[in-house]
Amino acid sequence: MFAGKGPRWSWVRGPGLGVLLFLTVTGLGTVGYMAIEGWPPWDAFYMTIISVTTVGYREVHPMSTAGQAWTMFVLLGGVSTLFYTAFIVMAEIVEGEFHHRFTNRRFNRMLEQLTDHFIICGYGRIGSVIADEFRRQGIAHVVVERDPERARAVIADGSQALQADASSEDVLRRLGIDRARGLIAAVGTDAENVYTVLTARVLHPELFIIARVESQDAEPKLRRAGADRVLSPYQLGGVQMAATALRPTVVDFMRLATSSERMDLAAEQIAIKDHSRFVGVSIRDANLRQEFGVIVVAIKRAAGHMEFNPAPEAAIGAGDQLVVLGHPDQLKALEEAALRA
């Protein structure tokens, strides 16, 4: 979906102009009858309406020659206006303007209902991969892209898009940043990403923000602007290639565990809320392996540090994140159980 004033001004120039002309002819006709024939306002207005609409009822009062000439003017103006409006309406139907406005209203309603979603800023090489992965996993998301061709490509690929500036406060509010799960800044330059992250952080201090970085110099700036994670595609790609060369089996395993294409194994993080049944319980006593069939790989503590391969007697605390491996159905069952008291 595309932002801008095009549809609104198109309406003013098209059917809106026809309505304006009709009102103008009606007003002038009413004033003319009052001035020429000396009729009261209601009689003058009634005569104008039956003339403009070519209904052809009898004249309200006997008219002078000047009044008859004025009636011909009103008739010609009214008929011309009606024909113009009908022509514009048909042209808009043919050109798809009504469909565009209907789609725009539907998109706005979708934005108003969207919650717990990701906002992807930019649809370049990185943004398109992210959106594609979210589509495969069924994650709610919306893309904001300044380039109209790329915005159309988003819609063609099956995602929702808004053609606008991702660093605009009004745009981010329209995209429901106050209800969003996270924001990914992947626009063209580091400077744009810094400004986008800064704007998003001001609007939503608690939002989880990931930023793409091109140069190493920009990484501290993005962190100061408010990014929770700053990732360099080139550095990640290089590390991945080096790891594949040195430990290909390990890399294959991690790829299978984190890929949405693999349906029998997945990795997930399970948030432990304050009221969860697992708070204060050790991994052994929680019976995660026996009840859910999952493997606890690590625990990210509420304080921020990570415990890899935690011991069976390690206690689970409120605010912790469990990193687990298992079948998607098992992981979903564990996630639902973690929400219960």
Residue 286 has pLDDT above 80, yes or no: yes
Residue 10 has pLDDT above 80, yes or no: no
Residue 235 — very low, low, confident or very high, per pLDDT cuts 50/70/90?
Answer: confident
Quick one: average pLDDT of 26-30?
A: 88
Structure-model confidence comparison of residues 92 and 149, the more confident one? 149
Using alpha carbons, list the distances in angstroms from residue 168 to 145, 180, 203: 12, 16, 11
Residue 210 — very low, low, confident or very high, per pLDDT cuts 50/70/90?
Answer: very high
pLDDT averaged over the chain? 85
Q: What is the DSSP string of 171-223?
A: HHHHTTGGG-SEEEE--SSHHHHHHHHHHHHHH-TT-EEEEE-SSTTHHHHHH
Question: Judging by DSSP bridges, how do beta strands 208-212 and 266-271 pair with one another?
Answer: unpaired
Residue 249 has pLDDT above 60, yes or no: yes
Q: Kindly state the helix (H) or strand (E) to which residue 142 belongs, with its residue range.
A: strand 141-145
Q: Kindly state the helix (H) or strand (E) to which residue 306 belongs, with its residue range.
A: strand 306-308
C-alpha–C-alpha distance, residues 209 and 198, integer Å: 10
Quick one: average pLDDT of 258-271?
A: 73
Quick one: average pLDDT of 263-279?
A: 85
Number of H helices, E strands in the chain: 14, 10
Name the burial class of residue 100, with classes exposed (0-12), middle (13-18) and buried (19+) by CB atoms within 10 angstroms of its CB: middle
Contact 312, 284 (CB under 8 A): yes
Q: What is the pLDDT of residue 92?
A: 65
* Residue of 268, 264, 266, 267 whose CA lies nearest to 338: 268
Least confident of 49-58, 93-102, 124-133, 169-178: 93-102
Residue 136 — very low, low, confident or very high, per pLDDT cuts 50/70/90?
Answer: confident
Q: What is the pLDDT of residue 3?
A: 44
Strands ordered across the beta sheet of 182-185: 161-163, 141-145, 118-121, 182-185, 208-212, 229-231
Q: Which domains does the chain have, with CATH numbers?
A: 6-97 (1.10.287.70), 114-236 (3.40.50.720), 264-339 (3.30.70.1450)
Residue 212 has pLDDT above 90, yes or no: yes
Quick one: average pLDDT of 253-273?
A: 75
Residue 299 has pLDDT above 50, yes or no: yes
C-alpha–C-alpha distance, residues 261 and 243, integer Å: 21
Q: What is the pLDDT of residue 223?
A: 94
Least confident of 206-210, 215-219, 254-258, 336-340: 254-258
Contact 294, 265 (CB under 8 A): no
pLDDT tens-digit map of 34-53: 998 888 889 888 888 888 87
pLDDT tens-digit map of 306-320: 999 999 999 999 999
pLDDT tens-digit map of 72-83: 888 888 888 878
